[in-house]
Amino acid sequence: MTEVPPHSRLLLYTDGLIECFPMSEGDHQEFGEEGLKGALADAGPLTLDAALQHLFDATLAFTEGEGRHDDTSVVLLERT
């Protein structure tokens, strides 16, 4: 069992979230864990709903509006 510290968030996700990429990129650069970390850091002060929306918006922007090409499941939990 792992305890989520007070005032923390826990994100559970499938690989479709971090493996998204713009189809126009020749080198197949993925959003990756670095993109995920950056989006989550930017979403820190936001509500859970707004933070999730920000994460989805960040991946959409990264893929140049093409969206994610693999199934994506995301759960964001917060301990207050």
pLDDT in tens, the chain (80 residues): 988 999 999 999 999 999 999 988 566 899 999 999 999 999 999 999 999 999 999 999 999 998 888 999 999 999 99
For the chain, the distance separating the N- and C-terminal CA atoms, rounded to the nearest angstrom, is 19
Both tokens assigned to 47: 């509500």
Q: Record the pTM.
A: 0.88
Q: Sketch the domain layout of the chain as residue ranges.
A: 8-79
User: Residues near 75 by Cβ (< 8 Å), separated by ≥ 6?
Assistant: 11, 12, 13
Strand, coil or helix: 64: coil
